[in-house]
Amino acid sequence: MWVCRVMVNPDKDFQCSSKGDEHSIEIENLFERLSAGPEGLLKTEAKRRSSICGMNVLQEIGKESLIKKYLKQYWNFFSMLLLFGSMLSFTAEWLDPGQGNIFIAIALLGVVILNGSFTFIQEYQAEKIMASFKDLIPPKCRILRDGNIVEALASEITVGDIIYVEEGDKIPADARIVEENSLKVDNSPITGEAEPQLRSLNCTHPDMLECRNMLFSGTAVQTGNGKALVFGTGSDTQIGKLASLTEQTSSVDTPIRKELNNFIKVISAIAMFLGVAFFMVGFIIQDTFLANLIFAIGIIVANVPEGLLPTVTLALSLASKRMAKRNALIKQLESVETLGSTTVICTDKTGTLTQNKMKVHSIFTGSKYIDVGKGEKPTDILLRVAAVCNNSRLVDENPGYKGDPTEGSLLVYVNGFRDTGKIQAEYPRLKEYPFDSKKQRMQVICSTPQGNKESYMKGGSEVIVGMCSHLLSDGKKVPLTAEEMEKLEEEHLVMAARGERVLAFAYREIEEEKEYENDFIFLGFAGAVDPPRTEAKEAIKKCHEAGIKVVMITGDHPVTAKSIASKVGLTDDHEKPVLITGKELQELSTKELIERLQAPSIVFARTSPVQKLKIVQAFQEAGEIVTMTGDGVNDAPAMKNADMGVAMGSGTDVARESADMVLLDDDFATIVNAIQEGRTVFDNIKKFIAYILTSNIPEILPFIAFVMLALPLPMNVQLILAIDLGTDIIPALSLAVEKGEGDIMKRPPRPREEKLLTPQVLFTSYGIKGPIEAAAGFVCYFAVLFDGGWKWGQQLPFTDTLYMQAITAFFAAVIICQIANVFTSRTKRQSVLTKGFFSNNMVLLGIASELMILGFIAFNPLGNLIFNTAAISLKYIVIAIPFALLLLGVDEFRKYGIRKDNTFVSRYFKW
C-alpha cells in the first residue's frame, strides 16, 4: 500500500482547474500541487475550497427555456383546430359584422390560450415534483474529513479530498487512484467502452482518458474498491467538459404519450372530415357561404375535447404525488401508467420480500453446532475470518452496520465476542479479491502478528468446500474426505431449509500475495436469517388476484430460495414451483427458457445479476410486460431493458440512476401499490375520454338538423363552448382524481395492444349516452317551440325570444344529462352505487359548477346577452330528468353485463 507524508497547508495556493497531466506526474507532486495529504482535508478547508472552486455539480446544458416549453403547448392538432376555428370566426365577422361572430372568435382564441397555459402550468408543476423527488435521494459518497471517514453529499466534494469508492458507487469527481483492490470501472459514459476497465496505481498511457490510474466523474465502479485524490470537480471534470459541448438528447415518447397523440389525430380527423363534409352539403342545398362557415366552425369546436391534455397531466402528477407518499418515487411522470400494465414482476429476495435485517441464526463448525441463542463462542479463527474477510462496518444507528446485510450481521455477531476493530488492526489486509457473482467467493490476504501471511475466504458453501483439503475439528486439522464433504453438504441443506442464507468460511497459510484456489482448511458454516416482510404475503396475493406473475430471483441456495418462496406466499403446499438455478439458466436456450417461464410459479436460485437480463428478455419475447427490481450495479442492464425498472432506495447509485422508479422503503408491497396507481391512471383517463366525448353528439346533431331539416339552429357555438370550456371542465378534472375501483387489482392486466380510444369507448359515448343526451335536448327544444306557437318549417331570427328560450332549453337538457354522465363515469365496471356519494368532493364541486353556469346563462341578463339565451320555465328543465335517469340506468346495465361476463355486452360495450 502506498503512503504519502505530505501535510496540508491551508495557506498555500492550490489549483481549482485540471492541468491535464494529473495522470502522469508523481503522486507526491500532485498532493503538493493540490496542497493536500492522504489524511484528507479539514472541514473548514474543504468549505473554503468549495467557495473558491464552486460546488461539485454540473450545469444543465441544452435545457429548454420556459418560453419554448410554453409555446410547445400550442403545437398540437387540438390547438391548431381551435385556432383555425377562431380565424374562420374572425372571417365571418368581417363578412357580416354585428352577428356575434367576433365573440366566438375571441372565445376560441381565449380557449387556446387558457388550454395551453393550464397544460404548461401542470407540466411545469410536474417537473418540479420530479425534481423534488431527486432531492430526496441525493448522491452521496465516503470521504476523509478531519482524518475520519464520513458520508457526505457528492456536491460537497472539493479539490484535494480523499474519496473511498466500492462496487456500485458512481464516481463523484475526477480523481487519481492512491489505493485499489481489484478495482474495475465502467468508463462507457466517457470513452464509450462497454467492457469494464481494470484500474492501477501506475500511469499506463500518455492519454489521460486511457490511463488506468484515473477515475472519472459519472463513471461507475463495477467490482472492487479503492481510494483516490480528487483533482477535478463540477464543470472542470471530463464529463463536465463533455456536457458543455453536448445538447440535451430528445426524449422518446412513452406508451401513454403515443396513445394520446393517436387519440388527438383520430378525433381531429373526425372533426375536419365532418366540418368539410357538411360545409359541402350546405353548398349543395344552396345555403349561404356565411351560414356554411358558421356551421363548419360549430362542427370543429364540438369535436375537440379541449381539456384533455391538462387533465392527463393532472392525473399523472396526482398519481406520482400519491405514490411518493407511499415511498415510491417516479422519475418520469408518464412511467406511472406503464406500471399499470405490468404482467410480470421479477423481484429480488433480500430487502424486498424480506426485512433486510440479517441476523446470525446458527453456526456449524464441521463437527457440531454452536448454540447461538445461549451465546456459545465459536473458534477464534472463525471469528477472525468473519471479521477480516468483510467490507461492512459497524455504526451506532440501526441496524448497527453499513454495507451488505449478510456481512453486517457477521460483524455484529463477532463484535459480541471480540472487538472487530481490534481484530482488523491486528490482522491488516494486504490484498483483497472482492466477491464475484461468478466465483461466488471473497478472499483477502492478511499479515498476522507473528509476521506470517494468511488467506481468509468466505462464500457459497459448494464453492468453499470444494476448495478445501482439510477441516478444523475440535481445534485439530484433519483431512476432508468425500464422506465428510457429504456430511457438510447435508448440514448445509438442513440450514438452507430453515430459510437461512448460508456462508462457508476457510483459511490457509501462504507465502505469496496471490489468489489461491485450493488447500484451504474448512472452518464452518454461518446461517443468517432475514425474516420475511409481514406485508409481502398479502402483496403477492394481490398480484396473483390481479393476474400478475411474481418471480423471485436470488443468489441463495435453491433450498433457501424455496423456503423463503413458501413463507412469502409465492408457492403453497399444493403447488411446487419451477426452480431454475443459474447453472441451468446458462445452458437453456431462449426458446427453452420461454417454455419454462409458462409455469405459474417460478423461482430462480444461485443466479448472478448479469443473468437477470436474459430472464427479462425471455419474458418480453413471450409477450409479457416486465417490471424488474434491483439494487446492484450489475442489475442496471436488466432494469434498463425491462419495461419498468425499480431500484431500491438503499441500492447503489448506478441502480437508482438506471431505474424508472425508486423504492425508498425497499418494500415489495410498495411496488404493488404503485401498480394499482398505474392502473387507476389509465382507467381515469379513459373515464375522462368517455365523459367528454358524450357531449359531442348533442353538440354536433343540432348543426346537422340545422342543415338537413332546416330547423332553427338548436344550439349555437357560444353554448357549445360553454359546455366544453365551462360546465364540463371541473367534472372532467374530477374524474382524474377518482380513486381506483374496488376490483381494480382483481382484474387481469390490460393487453399491451389496448388503446385509450377503442371502438367500445366510441360506441358507448357516440352510440348510447350521446344520443340519449341529444334526445333530451331536442325534446326540451321542441317543447319550448311548440308551446310558443312555432310551426314546422318556420324560420326564427336569432334575436327572437322564442328561439333564445328554445336553445336555452336544449342547453339545459344537455347539462342535466351531463350531471348524470359524470356520476356514472366514476366507474368502468362496478356499479356507481358502490362509490360513496361524498367520496370524491371534486365531483360534487363539478356538479355545483355546472348548475351555477347553467343558472348564469339561462337566468342572468349578462349571460343572456353573451350567449344569446333567454330565461325559461323550470318545467322545461325538469323534462330532461327522465333522460338523465335513463342514461344512468343504461350505463348500470352495461356495467352489470360486463361484471357477469356477458359475451355480447363485453364485446361491444366493455371499455
Q: Which of 169, 186, 348, 635 is catalytic?
A: 348
Long-range CB contact pairs, 51-54, < 8 A, 24+: 52/16, 53/16, 53/158, 53/159, 53/233, 53/234, 53/236, 54/233, 54/234, 54/235
**By three-state DSSP, how is residue 632 classified?**
coil
Look at residues 681, 695, 379 and name the one whose alpha carbon lies nearest to residue 506. Answer: 379
Residues 6 or more apart whose Cβ sits within 8 Å of residue 189? 216, 218, 219, 239
Q: Are 697 and 770 in contact (CB under 8 A)?
A: yes
DSSP symbols for 866-896: HHT-----HHHHHTTHHHHHHHHHHHHHHHH
Cell 488492526 locates to: 425
Q: Rounded to 5 degrees, what are φ and ψ at 580?
A: -120, 120
Q: Rounded to 5 degrees, what are φ and ψ at 186?
A: -90, 105
Cα gap 124→132, rounded to integer Å = 12
Give the burial class of 682: count Cβ atoms within 10 A of its Cβ; 0-12 exposed, 13-18 middle, 19 or more buried.
buried
Q: Which amino acid is at 275?
A: G
Look at residues 804, 851, 843 and name the one whose alpha carbon lies nearest to residue 821. Answer: 843
- The dihedral sign for the CA sequence 642, 646, 651, 655: positive
Cα gap 555→406, rounded to integer Å = 12
358: Cα within 13 Å, side-chain hemisphere: 26
Q: How many residues does the chain have?
A: 911
Q: State the CB neighbour count (10 A cutoff) for residue 353.
A: 30
Cα gap 694→775, rounded to integer Å = 13
Residues 30-52: b if buried by 16+ CB within 10 A, e if exposed:
bbbbbbbbbbbbeeebbeebbee
Cα gap 111→310, rounded to integer Å = 13
Residue 348: active-site member: yes
Q: Are 363 and 375 in contact (CB under 8 A)?
A: no
**By three-state DSSP, how is residue 623 classified?**
coil
Query: What is the grid cell recorded at 799?
Result: 334575436
Q: What does DSSP assign to residue 25?
A: S
Give the burial class of 194: count Cβ atoms within 10 A of its Cβ; 0-12 exposed, 13-18 middle, 19 or more buried.
exposed
Long-range CB contact pairs, 143-146, < 8 A, 24+: 143/40, 144/38, 144/39, 144/40, 144/41, 145/40, 145/41, 145/42, 145/43, 145/46, 146/40, 146/42, 146/43
Beta 520-529 vs 468-473: how paired, if at all? parallel
Cα gap 711→593, rounded to integer Å = 68
DSSP symbols for 39-85: T-B-HHHHHHHHHHH--S-PPP-SPPPHHHHHHHTT-SHHHHHHHHH
Point out the residues that are catalytic.
Answer: 348
